[in-house]
Amino acid sequence: MTNNLNFDSSKQSEGSFIRQNLETNIQPLVKSIVQRLKIEATPAYSRLNDYELRKIVEGALQQTCRWVEDGPAARIELDLQDGLSERLKLGFTVKDFVSTTGIIEDECKKFCRKLFQSDPALTDRAVHKIGFIYVNVNLIETRLAMKYRQDTSKNTISKK
């Protein structure tokens, strides 16, 4: 794992610094998340092959890195809508999303602890940022999934 822990706030924001280091070291994180998803995720995700899981995880981590950098300005809901809608059409459920995001959040936090271990304050802030992001992700995914289900059932009723 390579990291450049010479954080200089005059050169870049802390979010940018965390993002840069996460992206530079992302492959071991992808691997650990895919392994956990194969064992712990709901059947909807565990039935996917390694390539499909890897693509989902890589996309989620790239998005997470952008949210870390954007901080409070992150547009989490807007970013989640398309992918979530697509997965709902494929039969994924809120339980599937919460299961997956829980694993991704946990692995990201572990990874940040290891990656930034030489700077405990930075480690704490990175872990806090990840936690904040995933609290929002779970709330938004749940709300959007419920709205999707309501819209789907309204359309079904109106077609009858």
Q: Which residue has the higher pLDDT, 149 or 122?
A: 122
When pLDDT is cut at 50, 70 and 90, the band that residue 35 belongs to is: very high
Query: Does the pLDDT value for residue 143 go beyond 90?
Result: no
Report if residue 113 sits inside a domain.
yes
Report if residue 159 sits inside a domain.
no
When pLDDT is cut at 50, 70 and 90, the band that residue 9 belongs to is: low
- Domain range enclosing 130: 14-71+81-154
Report if residue 5 sits inside a domain.
no
| Each residue's pLDDT tens digit, 43-87 | 888 788 899 989 989 988 998 888 888 877 778 888 888 778 888
Tell me the C-alpha to C-alpha distance, in Å, between residue 54 and each of 8, 31, 126. Answer: 33, 8, 23
Report if residue 31 sits inside a domain.
yes
| Each residue's pLDDT tens digit, 122-131 | 899 999 999 9
Domain count of the fold of the chain: 1
Q: Which residue has the higher pLDDT, 160 or 90?
A: 90
Report if residue 76 sits inside a domain.
no
Report if residue 4 sits inside a domain.
no
Report if residue 9 sits inside a domain.
no
Report if residue 3 sits inside a domain.
no
Q: Which long-range contacts (CB under 8 A, 24 or more apart) does 143-148 make?
A: 144/77, 144/80, 144/81, 144/84, 144/85, 145/84, 145/88, 145/93, 145/94, 145/97, 146/94, 148/84, 148/85, 148/88
The pLDDT score that the predictor gives to residue 51 is 93
